[in-house]
Amino acid sequence: MLALTVIAPVQGADDDRRSAQARAELDALRDRIDAVRGEIAADTSQRGDLAQRLASAEAEISTASRRLRTLDADIGRAKARVDDLAGRRNTERYQLADQLEALRDQVRAAYAGGRMDKMRLLLSGQSPERLGRLLVYYEYFASAQTKEVVQLRDALSDLIVRQNALEAEQDALASQRSVRADTLTTLEANQSQRRQTIAALDKRLSSKSATLEEMQADEARLERLMGSLQRQLADLPAQDGDDTNFTQLKGRMAPPLQGTVLARFGARKANGPLRWQGQWLGAAEGTRVNAVAGGRVVYVGFMHRYGLIVIIDHGSNYYTLYGHAESSYVDVGDIVRRGQPIALAGRSGGHSRSGVYFEIRRGQTPINPSTWLSG
């Protein structure tokens, strides 16, 4: 007992120390990622008016989509509570009706049997033995009636409480549905803005020969982002989302989603000199995108043409990138496990087809995903 008494505070102190250390590491990570975001935001090559408008519209779409998912989950839980409260209220109504009917039967039986009140019994002139028995019966009957009345009163009180709770939940549900409707309206407005911006971008690109230069600039931005991440994360301890080493999963990784391959690693982009550094998988908007391995989320943000991207650090200098997302489930610092949903497939980055752009990198060097993915 003494040993346990001594050990328990020590373990508690260790837990507090580890927790404080984890918070400090997370704060350090987020500060450094904010510095990386600052570098990206300062990149004048992606600060054109149309690029800014597109990024702004897609950021609003991502926020609204995430808000809608949260509201839908809240509404689902509220609806379940409303159904549960309504069921309990109806059950108590039936019980109350049964108790009322039982009490009515007792009153009718008492009347039909000509039961007398206690004073009439005492003045009836019957023998003491019979009178004693009748008084005992009378007390039993009166006690039963009192108990029934108390139960009815309690049931009625419970019913009122249940009804008030049900009405409050219904009001909350109506309020959440109203907020959802407003959020949906905002989402639709942002999507309309995105369509107009993409149309303007397409018109601009068709009228000039700068497509190759812009694609080269896009790739250069991504290279700088990966380099910045490596420098910022170099002295932070790696954290895996599960016990499986990334390299041990080679050839056994499930794809981030099941979809049509729109572009393969190494294929030429628009039949030009540039080649794809990852794999573009087509899928319906809103399809869940899963982490191919466990790790730590080190970047969530927008980049020209890549759209909303999520980058996961898997340790040993391996990273995976998921682009064109509609919205993300995760934030910087989150630990994710293999197969965990991290984003939703989308068209962000100005694309007309929806899906996810997927890369595997060792440091800044892209690796062919097909040799790592199964199927």
Q: How would you write the chain as a 3-class SS string? A: CHHHHHHHHHHHHHHHHHHHHHHHHHHHHHHHHHHHHHHHHCCHHHCCHHHHHHHHHHHHHHHHHHHHHHHHHHHHHHHHHHHHHHHHHHHHHHHHHHHHHHHHHHHHHHHHCCCCCHHHHHCCCCCHHHHHHHHHHHHHHHHHHHHHHHHHHHHHHHHHHHHHHHHHHHHHHHHHHHHHHHHHHHHHHHHHHHHHHHHHHHHHHHCCCCHHHHHHHHHHHHHHHHHHHHHHHCCCCCCCCCCCCHHHHCCCECCCCCCEEEECCCCECCCCCCECCCEEEECCCCCEEECCCCEEEEEEEEECCCEEEEEEECCCCEEEEEEEEEEECCCCCCEECCCCEEEEEECCCCCCCCEEEEEEEECCEEECHHHCECC
**pLDDT, tens only, 10-52:** 555 666 666 676 677 667 777 777 766 666 555 544 445 656 6
The pLDDT score that the predictor gives to residue 322 is 97
Mean pLDDT is highest, among 1-10, 45-54, 122-131, for: 45-54
Under CATH, what is the fold of the domain 210-375?
Glucose Permease (Domain IIA) (2.70.70)
CA atoms within a 13 Å half-sphere pointing along the CA-CB vector of 78 = 17
| Domain ranges for the chain | 40-208, 210-375
**pLDDT, tens only, 221-274:** 888 888 888 887 776 666 656 656 899 999 999 999 999 999 999 998 877 788
Residue 67 has pLDDT above 50, yes or no: yes
Residue 117 has pLDDT above 60, yes or no: no
Residue 106 sits at the vertex; the CA angle it makes with 104 and 109, to the nearest 5 degrees, is 110
Residue 342 has pLDDT above 90, yes or no: yes
The pLDDT score that the predictor gives to residue 137 is 55
Q: Between 218 and 151, whose confidence is greater? A: 218
The pLDDT score that the predictor gives to residue 366 is 93
Q: Between 142 and 281, whose confidence is greater? A: 281
The pLDDT score that the predictor gives to residue 343 is 93
The pLDDT score that the predictor gives to residue 90 is 76
* pLDDT-based confidence at residue 327 (cuts at 50, 70, 90): confident
Residue 215 has pLDDT above 70, yes or no: yes
* pLDDT-based confidence at residue 209 (cuts at 50, 70, 90): very low
Low-confidence winner among 46-55, 57-66, 259-268, 311-320 (lowest mean pLDDT): 46-55
Q: Between 307 and 214, whose confidence is greater? A: 307
The pLDDT score that the predictor gives to residue 266 is 92
CA-to-CA dists, residue 342 to 156, 240, 332, angstroms: 49, 15, 11
- Distance, in Å, from the CA atom of 71 to the CA atom of 175, rounded to the nearest integer, reads 11
Residue 55 has pLDDT above 90, yes or no: no
The identity of residue 233, as a single letter, is L
Q: Between 71 and 250, whose confidence is greater? A: 250
Please state which of the four CATH numbers 1.10.3470, 1.10.15, 1.10.10, 1.10.287 is assigned to the domain occupying 40-208: 1.10.287
Query: Which percentage of the chain shows pLDDT scores above 70?
Result: 62
Beta bridge partners of 268: 275
Buried b (16+ CB within 10 A) or exposed e, 195-223: eebbeebeeeeeeeeeeeebbebbbebbe
The pLDDT score that the predictor gives to residue 218 is 80
* pLDDT-based confidence at residue 321 (cuts at 50, 70, 90): very high
